Amino acid sequence: MDNKGFISIEYLFSIFVILIITLPLLFFTQSIIESSHNVEDSVTHRIILDDVANSISQVNSNGEGYSKLIYLKSDVGYYEITVENGKLTMEYDGKKGETSLPLSNFDSKYKIHSGRSYVISKNQDGRIVIT
């Protein structure tokens, strides 16, 4: 500002340049933060899916009558895991993840949900049952 109270053109131009530089930076930062949240969410659900697959494989590799209790935590939101011969499929927030279960022999197709406990056992026929 000069002595008469007017804002100089250079001052207005510098504010305009600063706005032009910072606005794209803010949008870029926001997209990076959203991307990191998506990756974290995907990794968390992938770990849950792998833990269930490992538990099923452990029961399958042990003898008949072996069982294991699993709890599907619900603090990461609602999800549903479909268990069938050869694969596990997890669905959450419109996304889908899948992992394979080789050499698994299930009694039937199961749907297990977050926030619940399940017992995975191997019966006398060599089939895996989830209750």
pLDDT at 2: 52
Q: Collapse the DSSP code of 119 into the 3-class scheme (helix H, G, I; strand E, B; otherwise coil) and give the result.
A: strand
pLDDT at 11: 87
pLDDT at 58: 93
Closest CA to 51 of 67, 24, 70: 70
Q: Collapse the DSSP code of 49 into the 3-class scheme (helix H, G, I; strand E, B; otherwise coil) and give the result.
A: helix
Runs of H (alpha helix) within 1-131 = 9-61
pLDDT (tens digit per residue) in 3-37: 665 678 888 899 999 999 999 999 999 999 999 99
Tens digits of pLDDT across the chain (131 residues): 556 656 788 888 999 999 999 999 999 999 999 999 999 999 999 999 999 999 999 999 988 889 999 999 999 999 999 998 889 999 999 999 999 988 888 888 999 999 999 999 999 888 999 99
pLDDT at 104: 83
Q: What are the residues whose beta carbons fall under 8 Å from the beta carbon of 91, sequence distance 6 or more?
A: 79, 80, 81, 82
CB-based contact 60:76 (threshold 8 Å): no
How far apart CA 104 and CA 127 sit, in angstroms, is 8
Closest CA to 43 of 110, 92, 2: 92
pLDDT at 102: 86
CB-based contact 84:43 (threshold 8 Å): no
CB count within 10 Å of CB 98 equals 11
pTM: 0.78
